[in-house]
Structure 1
């Protein structure tokens, strides 16, 4: 596949992400009739399902964070090839799986398998984003004229993938830490600023 305009790919990707974000909340909507049928108090919809609500909010933040990174990347892209297209499709697959993984971890919060499945889904997503960043950075034909990648951008992107992998290893070593191991995601941006303190964000220079 030769380089093609990325607009349709971006529109399709945005649509899939939007649907996935919407699907995240659907299991929570089923809680209301369950509480009503049990003649419970309205507050029990919240207090009785804190794990599900927590996993929903976490997944919303994770998908939103990764979409922002994806959006920033494709702002610099002038075209795509087969490798970039296929990697983007795998990235979308991980986004589509996220609502399922979220429901799993919300229902079995302390289960090692569900935690690893959840973190593994995020690892695939982050890994694909790292691969796409490297593909675009290494092929000038895919970049818009005047686009600029910084070392901080690359460090932060790959560092996020490393942090998620570290979170998975941490769960294997200490299962009780659960998906709270994803707090490691806070580390790469801080380290990136320390290593590259004066590096601006990647931009498309005006023509």
Structure 2
């Protein structure tokens, strides 16, 4: 039976991650534009004029929600936390608390390609970190005896694939001329297809793979 080191219990890690993600999601809403008190513009018109901000908010919210849900799914099956797993939480949480800023800048549509790259890159870092955390859990045998290891492996591949996809769109946006008409944001709607393809590949690769517990 492994001894849980002080400050590294899975429950404490989950609680801290929950708090950080909750604050990040709240800040997303706080940064949304609001009509001036003396504005005579119809509210529907105001929403249309700031559609980019609300699009960025919804997208960032969904990604943070996915990270929260997946992180819980992983840590419900974790019995111990290694130094590597703790370290991999640093870029995840750093990107999460940073997320409201690129969301606001990208949504405002004033910084062009750089803002798009910043938004996509931040999302990519979070997804890559999430995938690497579950990868470390599996490779180091930190899961419980009744853990669904095949599912953890699939989620690892899916999250890393999504992360690499978003990083690729960030690189593409960064190399485009400022205010380019190429719709990089439309590529993000391909994320579910990337997740589906990655999941199928991961499931096919399950044959012949052993866990540290089985070795």
Q: Same fold (TM over 0.5)?
A: yes
Q: In structure 1, what is the Cα distance between the partners aligned to 2:93 and 2:119? A: 15
Match of 2:107 in 1: 106
Assess if the C-alpha contact under 8 Å between 2:95 and 2:126 holds in 1.
yes
TM-score by length of structure 1 reads 0.83
> 1:187–1:173: structure 2 CA closer, same or farther, 3 Å change rule?
farther
Alpha-carbon deviation of 1:11?
0.6
Match of 1:162 among 161, 164, 167: 164
Assess if the C-alpha contact under 8 Å between 1:167 and 1:184 holds in 2.
no
Assess if the C-alpha contact under 8 Å between 1:122 and 1:164 holds in 2.
yes
Match of 1:192 among 198, 202, 205: 198
Alpha-carbon deviation of 1:56?
0.7
Q: What are the ranges of 5 or more consecutive residues in structure 2 without an aligned counterpart? A: 207-215
Deviates more, 1:176-185 or 1:18-27: 176-185
Alpha-carbon deviation of 1:104?
0.7
RMSD (Å), alpha carbons: 2.4
Match of 1:11 in 2: 15
Equivalent residues in 2 for 1:44-83 (5 A)? 44-83=45-84
Structure 1 counterpart SS, 2:144:
coil
Q: Does 1:31 align with 2:34?
A: yes
**1:8-53 deviations in Å (ceiling 9; x for gaps):** 111111011111111111122x513x2x323222223312211111
Assess if the C-alpha contact under 8 Å between 2:9 and 2:80 holds in 1.
yes
**1:144-177 deviations in Å (ceiling 9; x for gaps):** 1221322433321222122222322432465522
Deviates more, 1:48-57 or 1:103-112: 103-112
Assess if the C-alpha contact under 8 Å between 2:31 and 2:100 holds in 1.
no
> 1:89–1:41: structure 2 CA closer, same or farther, 3 Å change rule?
same
Assess if the C-alpha contact under 8 Å between 1:163 and 1:187 holds in 2.
no
Q: What are the ranges of 5 or more consecutive residues in structure 1 without an aligned counterpart? A: 200-207
Q: In structure 2, what is the Cα distance between the partners aligned to 1:58 and 1:43? A: 20
Q: Does 1:182 align with 2:184?
A: no
